[in-house]
Structure 1
Amino acid sequence: MSVPTPRSPAAAPAPTSAAHRTLWRWHFYAGLFVMPFLIVLAITGTIYCFQPQIEPLLYPGLLRVTPQGEPLSPQTLLERARAAAPAGAVATTYTMRNDPRASAEFIFRLPSGNSESLYLDPYSGAVLGSLSVEDRFMKQVRLLHRALLVGKPGELLMELAGCWTLVMIATGLAMWWPRLRESGVRAFAMRPASGRRGRWKEIHLMLGASLAIGALAFVLSGLPWTAFWGKQFKAITTAANLGRPGDAGAGHTHAPVREGNHAAHGDHRRHGGTMESLPLSEVPWATGLTAVPVGTSASAGHAPIGLDRVVAIAGSRGAGAGCQVALPGTPDAVYSVSCFPSDPKAERTLHIDPHSGNIVRDIRYDDYGPVAKAVSYGTSLHMGRYFGLANQIACAAISLGLMALAITGFVMWIKRKPANALGAPSRPSSPPPMRAWIAGLAVLGAIFPLMGVTMLLVWLIDRLVDRAAGVPSRPVRQ
C-alpha cells in the first residue's frame, strides 16, 4: 500500500495564466483610479435621482401651497414678482406648472451676477420666499456629481473616471468569463470561500457580474454630457446629420411654422447665442447648441404680447408642466420655451416673437437625428425619469451596487497588498500577445482621447517603475 507524499507547507498555488494576470493588472489600475469617483458618483447620483421627492421635503414652505380657487395669470404673477424682487434684479425665467399644489417660480438675475428663485402663491400672489439658485441643495449635488465642485478640472476628472470605468468593466468581465463558460448561470452565484479575502472576492465577483450591463449603460448614457468628449461628440454627430437639428441662425427651420410667415419679420441670419447660454436650468442635449433666433423689434408696430399669451401659445404646441420660459432680455430677443420632460418624445423647444406672437422656430423630438434621439432616451433612463419610481429604484440599485463594488475592491486590495508597497498584480514574464485586447483598447483610446492619453501614460509609468525596481515576475494569489 502506497502512502501519499505529504504536500510541503511551502508549496505555492498554481500560477495564474499570463493572460489573466495581464487583465488583472489593468483591472487593478483602473479600479484603483475610479474607486473614489465611483463612490461620489453613486451617492450624488442616487440623491439627484430622487430630486422630485426630496426637494418638497427640503423646502415645503416654498414649493407647496394650498389651492384656493382660481390661480392668477402668469403675467400678473410676474408683475408681483418684479415688485417684490431686490432692486436691480432682472426677471429671466418662468417655470410652467399644472399641479394645483405647486407654487409659482420666477428666476431673477441679481446685480451681483448670481441668480435667485422667487416663489409666489399662485392664488393670492403672496411672496413665499426665495432661494439662491447657485446654493440650492440639488444644484450643489449636481455640480458635485459632474465636476466635484471645482469647475473644469473636476469635469475632466469625472470624464476620465467614466472612461476608465469602461476599462474596469471590460477587464473584470474578461477575467470572469471562464467561470461563466464553466458554470453557466451558476457563475452569478457566490461560491464557498476561505481565507482572508475569499469571501470579499466572491461578493466582488457577484456584484461585478450582476451590475456590468447597468454600469455600462450608466457610463455610456452619461458621457454625451461631459465637458470635453461630449462637446466633440456633439460636433461630430451634427456634422454627420445624426445629432441636433441645424441652427436657426443659419437661416432655416427644421419644423413647419403655422403662425404666419416669420421669415419676413426678422433677419434670422443673426442670433442671440445658443440655448445653453440662456438662463435655463435644463435644456435637452439635442438643442443645447442650437442658435437662439432674434425676433421683431417694437418699431415694427406690435405691442409686447406678454407672458400669458406666450404660455397659451406654448401650451397649444404641447409644452406643459415643467417647461421653462426664458424671458426676453433685449428689445429684439425672443421668448424661448424649453421642455425637458421624462418622456423624450415630449421634448420641445419653441422660440416665440415677443411682439407678433409668431413662432420663430419649433423644434420637436421628430426633428432630432438618430444619435440625438438615442441620447435623449439614455439621459431619461440615466436620471431615473423615464418610467417613474421603478426607474428611480433601478438607478439607485445600480449606483449603490457600484459603490459596494468599489468598497469590496478596496478591502481586497488592503488585505492583499504588502506593507509600504502598491501591491499591483505582477506582470507575467512572457506577456501574451492579446492582440484583440490591444486593438480594443486602442479603439477606446481613439474614441475617448483623454482616456487614450492616460492609458499610454499608465503603461509607460508601469513599465518604468517595474524596470527601475527590478521586480521579478511571480505567481500572484488572487
Structure 2
Amino acid sequence: MSDTTSISAQRVAQAPHGAQPGYRTLWRWHFYAGIFVMPFLLVLAITGTIYCFQPQIEPLLYPHRLVVAPQAAPRLPTNALLARAQAALPAGARPLRAHIEASPARSAEFVFALPGGAKESVYVNPYDGTVLGTLDVDRRFMQVDRMLHRKLLLGKPGELLMELAACWTLVMIGTGVALWWPRGGASLRAALLPRLNARGRPFWKSVHAFVGVWLAVGALAFVLSGLPWTGSWGKQFKALATRASLGAPEGAWGGGLGLKSSLPGKAAAQTRAPAGAAEHTGHDMASMPGMVMDDLPLPNVPWAVGAVPVPHSPEARAQPGAQDSASNARLTLDQIVAQMHGLGVQSGYDIALPTTRDGVYTVSYFPADPKEERTVYVDQYSGAVLKDIRYDDYGAISQAVSYGTSLHMGRYFGLANQLVCAAISLGLGALAVTGFVMWWMRRPALANGIAAPPRERAAPPMRAWKAGLVLLGMVFPLMGATLVAVWLLDRAAFGRAARLSSS
C-alpha cells in the first residue's frame, strides 16, 4: 500500500507544467483560495441565481397576495387602503412603509411594526379594499434568500465570512488564469476548449479550466460590484468615498441638509442648516442621531445615499404639548403620492412614513436604470421638498457602483441581464463542484492531510505576485490578515509534509 501511495505521489509531482518555475506556488495559493471559497461559492451561486429572478418568482410564490385581477373601477385612495391594512392587524401596529405600484395587476403593500417587534407586510386589493393576506418581512422567501447571500443568516459573523470569500475569490481568479495560461507551445484555441475525450482527473481539470477562463471576466465583475455592499469593507469604502466627495451627494453627512419637518408655527429658517454648515462634514452634528438611510425600513436603498443621515428636530422634542396639533396638520399619503407623480416618480417606489412628529416622508425610487434613481425627503406638514437626490448628484464612485449594482442584480437590461447573471452564478457553482471533485480524486495520493499541492524547492521570486497580494491585503485589511494567517499556517503546519511530497 505504501509503495502504491509513493508511486501516486510521484505521478502528481510530475503533473503537466510541474517543471515551470512558479507553477506549483501559484497552484498552492489557488488551492488554498479554492478550498476556502468552495462552500461559499455554492451558496452564492444558488442564492444569487434565485434572487436575479425575483420579479418572476415572487408572484408565483404568493399569487393570492401580490396579484389581483385588473378592473375598470378606479383604485381606492392610498390612505383608505392603509387604514384597511392597519385594521387587519393587532392594536398597536405602526405603519412604517408603503409600496406604490401603478400596475393594475399588483396589490397595494404596506409594512407595519407589530407590538412584539416583528415587521409584517399587509397586501390589500386596491379596487375593493379587501385584505389579501400578510407576510412576515424577515421570513419572506426572497428576504431569506438575500440574507443567505449576504450573511449566511448568521448576522455580522456571516457577513464577514462572505466578505472574506469574495476577497479570496479574487485570488482564486488571478491564480486560476495564470495556471491556465498556455505554455510550452500550446495553442490558445486548444486551451479555450474542454478535452471531452479525457478521462478521470484530466477530464475534470479540463472542464474546470474551461469554465473558469470563460467566466473570469464576469466573475471578477461580480465580485467587484458586490464588495461595495459588504457590511465591513463596503461600509468603510462608502464612508471614504463620501469624505473624498466621490461617493455620496453633497450634504450627505449633514452639511446643508435640513432634512426635518418644520412644526406648524416654526419659522422656515429653522428647518435649514445654518450658513456655512456645508463645510462641516464631521459626525458630531446635533442633527445626526445615528440613524442613516440604510437603517430605514426600505427594501432597497441606492448605495450612494445609504450613509445619508436621518435627522430630527431637537427644538420640536422640547415641546411636549405640540404633538397633537402637529399630527393633525400632517399631509396624507395620497398627497405625497400626488406630489411624487408631479415630480415624475409614478410607480415602483417606496415611502418610509414619518414615525415622529418631526420626521419626514422619505421616498426611495430604486429602478433598473441607475440614472432614474431618486431619493426625496418631504416635510410631513408643508409638503416642502427638503432634498431631491438624483443620479447626477452622485459622485463618480457612486455612479459606477450604481451601474455595477444594477448589472450585478440582473436588472439593467431585462431578461438578458438575468440570464447572463444566472450563467455566471451557476458557472461559479460549477467551479466549486469541479474543484471539489479534483481535490477528492487526488487527495489519497498525497501524504499531507488536506492534499495541498507540493511546494517548490527553489521557487522564483515572483515579486509581481507578492506585490499584488500585499496590495490586496492593504485594500482589504480583513483579507490581508487572513493572507498572513494562511502563509504562517502553511509554513508551520504543512511545510514539512509539502517538502516530503516533492522530494
TM more than 0.5:
yes
The reply to whether residue 30 of structure 1 matches residue 33 of structure 2 is yes
DSSP-derived class of the 2:375 partner: strand
Q: 1:335 to 1:43 in 2, by over 3 A?
A: same
Q: Distance in 1 between matches of 2:108 and 2:477?
A: 45
Q: CA deviation at 1:402?
A: 0.8
Q: Distance in 2 between matches of 1:179 and 1:87?
A: 72
Q: Pick from 147, 156, 161: which aligns with 2:165?
A: 161
Unaligned runs of 5+ in 2: 1-7, 260-266, 274-285, 317-321
Equivalences for residues 17-416 of structure 1 within 5 A: 17-68=20-71, 69-179=73-183, 182-191=186-195, 194-247=198-251, 250-253=254-257, 264=269, 266-268=271-273, 270-271=287-288, 273-294=291-312, 303-416=329-442
The reply to whether residue 463 of structure 1 matches residue 491 of structure 2 is yes
Q: CA deviation at 1:239?
A: 1.2
Q: 1:92 to 1:192 in 2, by over 3 A?
A: closer
Aligned to 1:16: 19
Q: Is the 8 A contact 2:79 2:334 kept in 1?
A: yes
DSSP-derived class of the 1:250 partner: coil
Higher mean C-alpha deviation, range 150-159 or range 187-196: 187-196
Q: CA deviation at 1:264?
A: 2.1
Between the two proteins, what is the percent identity of the paired residues? 57
What's the TM-score once normalised by structure 1's chain length?
Answer: 0.91
Higher mean C-alpha deviation, range 369-378 or range 175-184: 175-184
Letter in 1 for 2:269: A
State the Cα deviation string for residues 312-355 of structure 1 (Å, max 9, x = none).
Answer: 11222232322100011011100000111111011100000011
Q: Distance in 1 between matches of 2:327 and 2:301?
A: 32
Q: CA deviation at 1:468?
A: 5.0
Q: CA deviation at 1:179?
A: 4.7
Q: Distance in 2 between matches of 1:248 and 1:206?
A: 46
Q: Is the 8 A contact 1:248 1:292 kept in 2?
A: no
Q: Is the 8 A contact 1:254 1:367 kept in 2?
A: no
Q: 1:180 to 1:204 in 2, by over 3 A?
A: farther
Q: CA deviation at 1:25?
A: 0.4
Q: 1:195 to 1:52 in 2, by over 3 A?
A: closer
Q: 1:470 to 1:331 in 2, by over 3 A?
A: closer
Q: Distance in 1 between matches of 2:59 and 2:395?
A: 36
Letter in 1 for 2:304: A
Q: Over aligned residue pairs, what C-alpha RMSD do you find? A: 2.5
What's the TM-score once normalised by structure 2's chain length?
Answer: 0.87
Q: 1:349 to 1:470 in 2, by over 3 A?
A: closer
Letter in 1 for 2:138: E
Q: CA deviation at 1:438?
A: 0.3
Q: Distance in 2 between matches of 1:410 and 1:300?
A: 63
Q: Is the 8 A contact 1:302 1:355 kept in 2?
A: no
Aligned to 1:5: none
Unaligned runs of 5+ in 1: 1-8, 256-261
Letter in 1 for 2:271: G
Q: Is the 8 A contact 2:258 2:272 kept in 1?
A: no
Q: CA deviation at 1:270?
A: 2.3
DSSP-derived class of the 1:138 partner: helix
Letter in 2 for 1:461: L
Q: 1:192 to 1:54 in 2, by over 3 A?
A: closer
Q: CA deviation at 1:72?
A: 0.7
Q: Distance in 2 between matches of 1:301 and 1:331?
A: 6
Aligned to 2:473: 445
Q: CA deviation at 1:474?
A: 1.8
Q: Is the 8 A contact 1:382 1:395 kept in 2?
A: yes
Higher mean C-alpha deviation, range 175-184 or range 91-100: 175-184
Q: Distance in 2 between matches of 1:177 and 1:134?
A: 46
Q: 1:248 to 1:188 in 2, by over 3 A?
A: closer
DSSP-derived class of the 2:138 partner: coil
State the Cα deviation string for residues 85-126 of structure 1 (Å, max 9, x = none).
Answer: 221100010001010010000000001111000110000011
Q: 1:249 to 1:418 in 2, by over 3 A?
A: closer
Aligned to 1:4: none
Q: Is the 8 A contact 2:374 2:388 kept in 1?
A: yes
Q: Distance in 1 between matches of 2:185 and 2:303?
A: 40
